Structure 1
Amino acid sequence: MDREVSELKKEILSLREPEGWELKGRDIWQGQGSFKKFPQEFRHRAFKKVSETMSHLPCHIFAVQVNKKNLGETSEDIKDDTGLYRLAFNQLLEQLDAYLKQYNETGILLMDSRSAHHTSVQDRRSSDIYRDWKSQKKSSNFMELPFFGVSDGYTGLQLADYVVYLIDRYSKKARTASGHTELEEAFHLLEPKIQLLKIPILQHKIHFEYR
């Protein structure tokens, strides 16, 4: 996977070393960061190319999407962003653990470090939620605590960033009358790999929708 993505990055920005820039969905689509001076047509083609490459890679995509507007006052447990994050993270852990158990495999979570400078508040929050989740499980196929890495050094984290942006952007465009062909094509290329869990909370119940 590392090799394929490195070749892709060389193809997209041939004058830059692939290790010298991050593959970020927002930067490519909106013309930010390394793509600030590139025309939209080029950027959108590059965006779709990422999906084309990922569609051939040996990976599975698990995602949890929470509709904040439908949360409202429906759950006493969701009082702030931490409660919202806990809900989403717990559901993602359930999906991943079920997948590992299905194939009798063990795994370690590699997470994008959200800490800045010398603070580790956000990473600690993730670790605490993980500990709470695991303490309530009779068994889990995860080993140890999550490992936190910086995205510019890990291909998997960069691909995760791209997928998160793709799903979010596509969901928003799906609610409008107009959309971008490249965006739709990029999403549909990866759709067979995506197990998307949508969580609106209605009448004190969680509704699950799988793709």
Structure 2
Amino acid sequence: MTILFYVDEGGTTWNDKQTNLFFLASFAIHVQDWSQMEREVSALKKELLSRREPEDWELKGRDIWQGLGSFKNCKQEIRLGYFKKISQTLNQLPCHIFAVQVNKKRLQETRGDIKDDIDLYRLSFNQLLEQLDDYLKQYNETGILLMDSRSAHHTSIQDDRLIRVYRDWKSQKESSNFVELPLFGVSNFYTGLQIADYVVYLNDRSSKESETARGNAELEEAFNLLEPKMQLVKIPILQHKIHFEDRSNEG
């Protein structure tokens, strides 16, 4: 069997001092469950914005939180409720979530070899690849990486860098359960990439809100709904939480 891994990034770049965390996350689902994902997320999008066709707008956590794009006319309390609805839908899907959180400030204190965004992405992508490959080998499955393209239409420089990171990682492995090189797509065309975007934003925003005096109960509830499906690695590694569901219930 084959697992699709949709990958996206979030947070801030290496030299951005405003916030301190960088995230890389993957939404994983078996190919035989892909149609269920498409069907249920399409129904969810129709519920959120009933006057628009699901394929005509992109599910983005940032837009929901800030009231941008398709959500610019939605009241804040309604938009906050959308986070719970989305997490409830994902909670019911036979999926897993893998995430890497990089604390840039702590990393700068412990690693002198990380100097720019390329080094930051290499470190986090290598860690994510290790998580995904270990999971594939644990269940003797093959995997396909589907990446949110970071390149503009006139250049493929950023995607080329990612391919080099992947090739370097794979050259150091005796074996890997991934099939082919990573594939690239534009998120507004791919439901899985939109979910990966949501997962990254939820992790990022939840971390920021947890540091405030008030926090945000709706966001915390949305995060808690996904946490049992999530394997999160923090860099520098402070703790490693693994939550694998019983695969006998995945149909």
Cα deviation, residue 137, structure 1: 0.2
Q: Say yes or no: does 1:36 pair with 2:72.
A: yes
8 Å CA contact retained: 2:206, 2:220:
yes
Shift of 1:132: 0.2
For residue 241 of structure 2, give the secondary structure of its aligned residue in structure 1.
Answer: coil
Give 1:1-211 correspondences, 5 Å limit.
1-200=37-236, 206-211=237-242
Report which of the two has the higher share of strand. 2
What are the ranges of 5 or more consecutive residues in structure 2 without an aligned counterpart?
1-36, 243-251
Q: Give 1:187 deviation, angstroms.
A: 0.3
Conservation of the 8 A alpha-carbon contact between 1:112 and 1:149? yes
Q: Which whole-Å deviations, capped at 9, do the CAs of 1:183-202 have from their partners, x for residues lacking one?
A: 010000111001111112xx
Q: TM-score, normalised by structure 2?
A: 0.80
Contact kept? 1:110, 1:149, Cα under 8 Å: yes
Secondary structure class of the residue paired with 1:107: strand
Where structure 1 has 5 or more consecutive residues not aligned to the other structure, the ranges are: 201-205
Matches of 1:88 and 1:62 in 2, distance apart? Answer: 12
- The code of the aligned residue for 2:135 comes to Y
Contact 1:31 1:43 in 2 (8 A): yes
Calculate the aligned-residue CA RMSD, in Å.
1.1
CA contact (8 A) 2:65 2:79 kept: yes
Aligned mates of 1:136, 1:161 — CA distance in 2: 29
TM-score (norm 1): 0.95
Deviation at 1:73, TM superposition (A): 4.5
Once the 2 structures are TM-superposed, how far is the Cα of residue 208 of structure 1 from its aligned partner?
4.3
Q: Which amino acid aligns with 1:175?
A: E
In the alignment of these two chains, the number of paired residues is 206
Contact kept in structure 2, 1:199 and 1:209, CA below 8 Å: no
